[in-house]
Amino acid sequence: MGLGGAAESLGAADLPRDGRGCSPAVTLNVKMGTFHKVMLGVVCAATGAGCARAQAAGGEACPRPATGSVIEEPEDLRSVGGVLRVDVAYRNELDVGGHMRYCYVFGDGSESPNLRVHPGDLLILELKNELTVAPGGMSIAMPMGGHGGAGEDPCSGGKMTAASTNLHLHGLNIPPICHEDDVLKTSIQPGDPPFEYKVRIPAGQPPGLYWYHPHMHGFTKVQVLGGASGALIIEGVERANKELSGMPERVLVIRDQDLLNPNAAPNPGAEAPPVVLDSDGDVMNTGTGTGKPAKDLSVNFVPVPYPNYEPATIKMKPRERQLWRVLNASAITYLNLQILWNAVPQWMAVVGLDGVPLNYIGRGGGGVAWQTHVGIAPGGRAEFVFAAPAEGVATLETLSVDTGSGGENDPVRPLARIVVSGDAPEPRAKLASSPEALPRPALPWLGDVAPVRTRKLYFSEILQDPKDPNSPTTFFITVDGQPPKAFDPASNVPNIVARQGDVEDWIIENRSLELHAFHIHQLHFLLLERFGSAVNEPFLRDTINVPFWDGKTSRYPSVKLRMDFRDSNTVGLFPYHCHLLEHEDGGMMGLVRVEPQAGAPVENLPEKASGAVALKRK
């Protein structure tokens, strides 16, 4: 997502309602070119007062709403007394169409609820792996004692299979260690006892939208594609932008899934460019913005399937303003969201990206970027204010995204009808009406800190059989000067060694014919340049698009990012990768090891290994 220029303020009288008569402060540039069993669970609001117990409904392990349903908001599980304690069962099943579903079922029976915590809170999550069906429909054997009966510690880097899982708290600046946010060695098997994640939310964590999902290398795509994801909200965005005070909020999790009607003909009158499948069986980019999509989409699990695209329903009161918190939890699908009323694009006031308020720079300011469409890469988040029209029905849609000649097809399609009605219920959650101001960030603004070095990395791909265009593809993200090498989950050798306290500039090139989304764990970064030209976007992110190469120009597309290793929670070994999960599973991931400052403890670091790019000041 590209936001050009500085942010301005949000006021009730400032929000355009019909898309006309107001010039946006900035423009958006999207260059994208079963367990059939009843389970007794527990959810604890950790106050010492005990736990609320609820019986999950029998039948489907991962129930989903019907096409065309009213969008229900995820349940909210909130911290109490500074603690949120939850028990989670991780399940899967094949649906009637043969598609694999995955789900997080919490003790009250809710699926993928919103986890709501404050900076400084303690999150304790007990995760029980109850997977019973492997991809392809085979039953999963559940040995006594888990880990093949050997009593192996899930932290030890044991086997990683289609039955294994772990949990990534995407966007949180927490240590990359077992029981917190390690995804490299933690592997929880069916039959293992509940595995405890115990995370102290940093006091300086920016308030906004984050999320949780599995990160089992080689199997991440199939699990996330099956629905294994949920929102995690750090409360207090109204403390960063008081103009949001008292505003109703709505959480929308947009996921992709395999086509429910893969053999259906397009609707009469719809454009039908030729369908070409890639080696994974997904429809390749047609370059027209139309045609059969690579994946279907859903909104809070309400499917919007090809070819009819019957939209889900959102109800709002006339002229009601809401904060929409939108997560793109897709495995491979890009979004380019737009809201239409009477065929006119409506203004959206973007106030946060990737969990960070736009004005989270310690300098004040309005913290709003006015847009008529908002691009969100897989894994990315956008938070924006939308005002309902006075009457009628508006439409939430995703515009087409050009993913390059080697990418999947992401055509224009509707997602939801926004029905305006005086008796529409308000969203369940509402921001605080009289918030205390958020403290200024403890560290200087990242854009004001000089980098100690500059590195270059690049995305590339190669067919395993160059003579067969349908052969599997190996994906790489390579540090310039090193040979391209697919990620090896058995290796602790980092590709990059950095030092805690430093700030670095990374240039990320794309030498492939498809769009990629760069993501790094444990930290946020600042976009400095796109295609070698400076941009004025003082917003922090953790995921960003790197435009595709056209195969002709002599210069590869690139972005320049300022990477922030100042936080002591970055010490350790953690990954960076493309957040198109079939690319990450296919090898497009690397490791950075952040060394502690002199005299700091080193127990969070793996045994040192040679072969990484050495520390070298420019």
pLDDT digit string, tens, across residues 286-302: 999 999 999 999 999 99
pLDDT of residue 9: 54
pLDDT digit string, tens, across residues 68-92: 999 999 999 999 999 999 999 999 9
Residues 146-157 have a mean pLDDT of: 67
pLDDT of residue 607: 47
pLDDT of residue 34: 30
Q: Is there a domain that residue 3 lies in?
A: no
Q: Is there a domain that residue 143 lies in?
A: yes
Contact 201, 118 (CB under 8 A): yes
pLDDT of residue 268: 83
Banded pLDDT at 42 (limits 50, 70, 90): very low
Query: What is the distance between the alpha carbons of residues 44 and 198, in angstroms, rounded to a whole number?
Result: 14
Query: What is the distance between the alpha carbons of residues 173 and 169, in angstroms, rounded to a whole number?
Result: 9
Task: Tell me: do 232 and 313 sit in the same domain.
Answer: no
pLDDT of residue 141: 54
Query: What is the distance between the alpha carbons of residues 88 and 82, in angstroms, rounded to a whole number?
Result: 20
Task: Tell me: do 228 and 247 sit in the same domain.
Answer: no
Task: Tell me: do 397 and 477 sit in the same domain.
Answer: no
Task: Tell me: do 215 and 248 sit in the same domain.
Answer: no
Q: What is the pTM of this model?
A: 0.89
Please give the residue range of the domain that contains residue 227.
40-237
Banded pLDDT at 363 (limits 50, 70, 90): low
Assign residue 550 a region: left if phi > 0, alpha if psi is -120 to 50, beta otherwise?
A: alpha
Distances (CA, A) of 404 to 288, 321, 575: 11, 36, 25
Q: Is there a domain that residue 28 lies in?
A: no
Mean pLDDT of the chain: 87
Task: Tell me: do 96 and 205 sit in the same domain.
Answer: yes
pLDDT digit string, tens, across residues 131-146: 997 766 565 654 434 4
Q: Is there a domain that residue 508 lies in?
A: yes
Q: Copy the structure tokens of residue 175.
A: 């240590």
Q: What angle do CA 131, 582, 494 make, to 5 degrees?
A: 95
Specify the range with the lowest mean pLDDT, choosing from 22-31, 53-62, 285-294. Answer: 22-31
Task: Tell me: do 213 and 306 sit in the same domain.
Answer: no
User: Which CATH number characterizes residue 477's domain?
Assistant: 2.60.40.420
Task: Tell me: do 389 and 513 sit in the same domain.
Answer: no
Look at residues 246, 333, 296 and name the one whose alpha carbon lies nearest to residue 95.
Answer: 296
pLDDT of residue 171: 98
Q: Is there a domain that residue 94 lies in?
A: yes
pLDDT digit string, tens, across residues 155-214: 988 788 999 999 999 999 999 999 999 999 999 999 999 999 999 999 999 999 999 999
Task: Tell me: do 96 and 148 sit in the same domain.
Answer: yes
β-strands 114-117, 369-371 pairing: unpaired
Specify the range with the lowest mean pLDDT, choosing from 142-156, 252-266, 271-285. Answer: 142-156
- Give strand pairing partners of 55: 40
**Run of H or E residues at 543:** strand 543-546
Q: Which amino acid is it at 11?
A: G
pLDDT digit string, tens, across residues 103-118: 999 987 899 999 999 9
pLDDT of residue 375: 97
Task: Tell me: do 82 and 136 sit in the same domain.
Answer: yes
Task: Tell me: do 90 and 123 sit in the same domain.
Answer: yes
pLDDT digit string, tens, across residues 365-411: 568 999 999 999 999 999 999 999 999 999 999 999 999 999 999 99
Q: Is there a domain that residue 503 lies in?
A: yes
Q: Is there a domain that residue 154 lies in?
A: yes
Scanning the structure block, which residue is given the tokens 């958020």? 438
Q: Copy the structure tokens of residue 270.
A: 């719809």
Contact 346, 340 (CB under 8 A): yes
Final residue before a domain boundary, out of 371, 405, 430: 430
Say how many domains are in the chain.
Answer: 3
Task: Tell me: do 283 and 153 sit in the same domain.
Answer: no
Q: What CA dihedral angle connects 294, 300, 303 and 309, to 10 degrees?
A: -80
Final residue before a domain boundary, out of 396, 430, 464: 430
pLDDT of residue 221: 97
pLDDT digit string, tens, across residues 484-527: 999 999 999 999 999 999 999 999 999 999 999 999 999 999 99
Q: Is there a domain that residue 612 lies in?
A: no
Whether 21 has a pLDDT exceeding 50, the answer reads no
pLDDT digit string, tens, across residues 424-454: 998 999 999 988 988 888 899 999 999 999 9
Task: Tell me: do 416 and 495 sit in the same domain.
Answer: no
